[in-house]
Amino acid sequence: MKSRKMSESRTIQTKLVLPPDTNHLETIFGGNVLAYIDEIAAITAMKHSNRAVVTASIDKVDFVSSAKVGDVLELEAVISSTGRTSMEVYVTVHSINPLKESVRKLTTESFLTMVAMDDDNQPVPVPAIQPETGEEKALFEMGPARLAHRKERFKTKH
């Protein structure tokens, strides 16, 4: 199976924060952000594997800052490492107030593990990834450490 460049499956989505998306403080509900993150991770993994995927793990989610009504959310996802049938997806969410200076502010970041599935809902092999930029290489090189942490976390829970 031929490997693929990280840039080939990179995905960017933009969403406007509306009043129904927010709480009584007019900041976005964390659950909505999690749904957006899961969606973009799935799209990115499907683009990489050309298969249906399922979410196996959301490893960590850091809510760094909030987004308010009227802000624009910019989500970006990239495959950061691969296993035999799984793909680790790194997702960042930035908020932008388009009525001000349009400064991008990191809102949330997360790592998810997605598994490619065949037509019988069985895991299927995925292509390896090729990092190109310095940022991609750094993300890729830390993949084994994140995998070891996931495995250790799973062991302690079972």
- Write phi, then psi, for 41 (nearest 5 degrees): -65, -40
Per-residue pLDDT at 146: 84
- The three state secondary structure string of the chain is CCCEEHHHHCEEEEEECCHHHECCCCEECHHHHHHHHHHHHHHHHHHHHCCEEEEEEEEEEEECCCCECCCEEEEEEEEEEECCCEEEEEEEEEEECCCCCCCEEEEEEEEEEEEEECCCCCECCCCCEECCCHHHHHHHHCHHHHHHHHHHHHHHHC
Q: How confident is the model at residue 158 (pLDDT cuts 50, 70, 90)?
A: low
Average pLDDT, rounded, for the chain? 93
Q: How confident is the model at residue 103 (pLDDT cuts 50, 70, 90)?
A: confident
Identify which of 53, 61, 40 has the alpha carbon closest to the alpha carbon of residue 114. 53
Q: How confident is the model at residue 148 (pLDDT cuts 50, 70, 90)?
A: confident
Question: Quick one: what percent of the chain has pLDDT higher than 90?
Answer: 81
For the chain, the structural domain boundaries read 4-157
Give pLDDT tens digits for 17-57: 999 999 999 899 999 999 999 999 999 999 999 999 999 99
Q: What is the pTM of this model?
A: 0.92
Q: How confident is the model at residue 127 (pLDDT cuts 50, 70, 90)?
A: very high
Per-residue pLDDT at 7: 94
Q: Both tokens of residue 25?
A: 């403080």
Per-residue pLDDT at 157: 65
Q: Which fold has domain 4-157?
A: Thiol Ester Dehydrase; Chain A (3.10.129)
Question: From CA 158, how far away is CA 141, in angstroms rounded?
Answer: 28
Per-residue pLDDT at 43: 99
